[in-house]
Structure 1
Amino acid sequence: MANLVAVSSSQQFEDLLKKSGKSLSVVHFSASWAPQCSQMNEVMGELAKEQPQVTFITLEAEGVPEVSEKYEISSVPTFLFFKSCEKIDRLDGAHAPELTKKVQKLASSAGVPAGGAEPPKEDLNERLKKLINAAPCMLFMKGSPQEPRCGFSRQIVQILKDHSIQYSSFDILSDEEVRQGLKTYSNWPTYPQVYVNGDLLGGLDIVKELAESGELENSCPKAETLEHKLKSVINRSPVMLFMKGNKEVAKCGFSRQIIEVMNSTGVDYDTFDILQDEEVGSTGTENIFQLANVPSAICER
């Protein structure tokens, strides 16, 4: 595939960026020992087919240390996005849907439109407000609940889990603008940060204190039961497909095959990525049918 290239030297890397010019280049810093990197390479391969104008580059982070150090690569997988040899965005972690969104967005934003003026950017504070109010309890952390990227984030995820707190999360490593802007907005210099009903609850120390005093459950919404969660997910659409990945990026061969079958029938359906929810993913087909008590659903183990 002409637009998917593996590089092994800093000179080859620099030459490819120069050759790409103003077109988007996506660089995957990976490691052969990390299975999630292999999975993301498959995603890159699919994206390379869909976006022939984009250059996709893979390199071993430890094999080209001078490049990894220059761009502060501390973990794999990490993705950097370049235009005109300048880094314009970054994504840390194996988040296939987010990678797909960023590639589609950045590949389509070719620069200044024909009218000559750049489209207005959403005000950062407005964007932060939307994120903070995206759920009754929002956790801004490094990484995801499934893959915390620092010890403090790992601790707070465990506390929320132990106390059955229902929450959504945002990976501040995936967006530098949000990462820096939220510190000012919250007047809180470190992460993680927990917001409840649009107001800052605090960081790890405060959450620990609330947990020890027994007040955490009263401060944060309790998690819904597994039965209620399954019914809610299944009833989102008349036809629900439980799979690995989503419609845009299937994460295994079986999921890819069933997506092709579903698309060929013209049936309107929605999907749920079992890799993003360990509780739902480990429930199993039989329990989903039994708990939800519905006559029809499409499930994959």
Structure 2
Amino acid sequence: MSNFHDVTSPDELKSLLSQDLQRVSLLSFWAPMEGNPCEQTNKVVTALSEQHKNILVLSIQAMEQEEIADSFDVESVPTFIVLRGHTLLEKIVGADAAKLTESISKHARQPTEALSKTDKAPAAPPATTDTKVLPPAKAEGEETPEELEARLRKLMNQSKVVAFIKGSPDAPRCGFSRKVVALLRDEKIDFTYFDILTDESVRQGLKALNDWPTFPQIIVNGELIGGLDVVQEMAESGELQEAVAA
């Protein structure tokens, strides 16, 4: 049985990791974006899977499996997560083939003390605009819950349409953000954006305030209308333009 798997869902990942809680696993997050180093590091990952048959190698397309990427706080590709069972051994960000090879060689041959658990809540959120920059957040820990909610509502009302995304419109940091920016621009809708990766309090706060667990989140007239799927449906039906015009 092959030790290399292309992961296609969170349930599949959970199942694979649960098969042997003493086994070392390498989670390789990548994306098929032109000009990034993932093509080369994917070759390194394949070679490691062939060299170390005792480890589990999981290839994860970060843009397609955003829920998984968020749960491991993956904000750029390539990123590599080394686990033993559900215990985090090491996280490597960037195309550092030498460091990745050294890590796998070390952990594949000897157990390592648990550094931290990965069965935790997914990562947290951030902000900006297509034409203007939103005000910076306070330092973490300075806000009361009431102050945070007031700041969130202020951000949601910065303009008629606010897109809470990962990255910026010109440099999105996930596939869903890229698609929603393209959709808004295709619809010729002016919008302000907020990069949720810059502010954890905003990221987590919006999830709770809007009862919406993922990003992007599109706000019209201070109210959440939904994420990418909802906005796509509204655009196709003409409801998006109607909502913006209201």
Q: Fold match, TM over 0.5?
A: no
Question: If the length of structure 1 is used for normalisation, what is the TM-score?
Answer: 0.36
Q: Greater helix percent: which structure?
A: 1
Query: Which has the bigger relative contact order, CA under 8 A and spacing at least 6?
Result: 2
Larger CA Rg, structure 1 vs 2: 1
Question: If the length of structure 2 is used for normalisation, what is the TM-score?
Answer: 0.43
